[in-house]
Amino acid sequence: MGRRLFIAGNWKMNKTASEAADLVSKLKTEIGAAAGKVTVAVCPPFTALDRVCGILKGSNIAVGAQNLSDKASGAYTGEVSASMLLDLGVRYVIVGHSERRQYYGDTNEIVNKKAKFAISAGLLPIVCVGETLQEREAGRMKDVITTQFKGCLGNFTKEEILKTTIAYEPVWAIGTGKTATPAQAQEVHALIRSMLSGVFGADLAEQIIIQYGGSVKADNSKELMGQKDIDGALVGGASLDPAGFAKLIINAIG
């Protein structure tokens, strides 16, 4: 389909700024020329963004944040704005990760607001969707993904969706070592692409990157990303080790 693979590491609440600096310095060397063949990004915690952006400036590895405020500025204690991220050199921002939905109350409506706000400010959102095990076992996977898709992305303009990456992360596969099978993941990716096609047209739907996330590792990255509608990965645990993350990327393209 001509879509370029996009592999991003979501470090979650791991690594101090010094540890992060060490990790990305090693990652740059480990990935080497492979970084030119796929789009690669790392998403450290806010406190490490400045150091990481400095080290990766001019490299083939982009930097993302894990969240942002839906407000531009003002009296919002503890929040971080899009302009603060842009000023550091941040390009991507993860929005609506299941951990934010589960622990911090991010609803589809909030995810929609944050993603639109990010785009209007000049950032590129990675919008996460995914069902829980309970929802899957109750046969509600399609309903849940459809509701999240409509609520998070349904009112996007074509310009907005073209700046958006979608990450399908089945909650039951996150940090559990239980990866969705390539066929299970492909089924949901195809569903998402068909919804994109329904809202934005087939041509545009073919251009959107849909990442898979949930226990992606060096030994399953190739098979997952070999699926027709899987265009990359959002990697948690396996992105914390520079050699392992580099191997995951190299295997995916190899």
Half-sphere exposure of residue 196: CA atoms within 13 angstroms, side-chain side: 23
Which residue in the set 214, 220, 242, 246 belongs to the binding site for ligand 13P (CB under 6 A)? 214
Give the shortest CB-56-to-ligand 13P separation in angstroms. 19
C-alpha to C-alpha distances, 155 to 50, 151, 205, nearest whole angstrom: 33, 8, 15
* Residues from 101 through 140 that contact ligand 13P (CB under 6 A): none
210 binds ligand 13P, rule: CB under 6 A: no
Catalytic residue among 99, 135, 169, 189: 169
Do residues 87 and 125 make contact, with C-beta atoms less than 8 angstroms apart? no
Both tokens assigned to 130? 């995914």
| Stretch touching ligand 13P by CB under 6 A, among 48-56, 83-91, 131-139, 234-242 | 234-242
Do residues 22 and 46 make contact, with C-beta atoms less than 8 angstroms apart? no
Query: How far is Cα 141 from Cα 185, in angstroms, rounded to an integer?
Result: 12
> Which residue's structure tokens are 């003002």?
74
Which residue in the set 45, 64, 170, 213 belongs to the binding site for ligand 13P (CB under 6 A)? 213
Task: List, in order, residues 6 or more apart from 121 with CB less than 8 Å away.
Answer: 72, 81, 82, 83, 86
Residue 186 CA, chain-centre distance (Å), reads 17
235 binds ligand 13P, rule: CB under 6 A: yes
236 binds ligand 13P, rule: CB under 6 A: yes
Q: Closest CB to ligand 13P among 34 and 130?
A: 130
Which residue in the set 15, 51, 97, 189 belongs to the binding site for ligand 13P (CB under 6 A)? 97
Which residue in the set 10, 81, 164, 186 belongs to the binding site for ligand 13P (CB under 6 A)? 10
Q: Which of 216, 244, 243 is nearest to 230 (CA)?
A: 216
Q: Closest CB to ligand 13P among 108 and 170?
A: 170
Please indicate whether residue 169 is annotated as part of the active site: yes
Containing 234, the helix (H) or strand (E) segment is strand 232-235
Catalytic residue among 30, 97, 131, 189: 97
Query: How far is Cα 252 from Cα 232, in angstroms, rounded to an integer?
Result: 9
Give the shortest CB-157-to-ligand 13P separation in angstroms. 26
The contact mask relative to ligand 13P for 154-193 (x = CB under 6 A, - = no) is: ---------------x----xx------------------
Give the shortest CB-236-to-ligand 13P separation in angstroms. 2
Containing 235, the helix (H) or strand (E) segment is strand 232-235
Binding residue count for ligand 13P, defined by CB under 6 A: 14
Both tokens assigned to 223? 């098979």
Which residue in the set 20, 234, 246, 249 belongs to the binding site for ligand 13P (CB under 6 A)? 234
- Residues serving a catalytic function are 97, 169
Binding site for ligand 13P (CB under 6 A): 10, 97, 169, 174-175, 213-216, 234-238
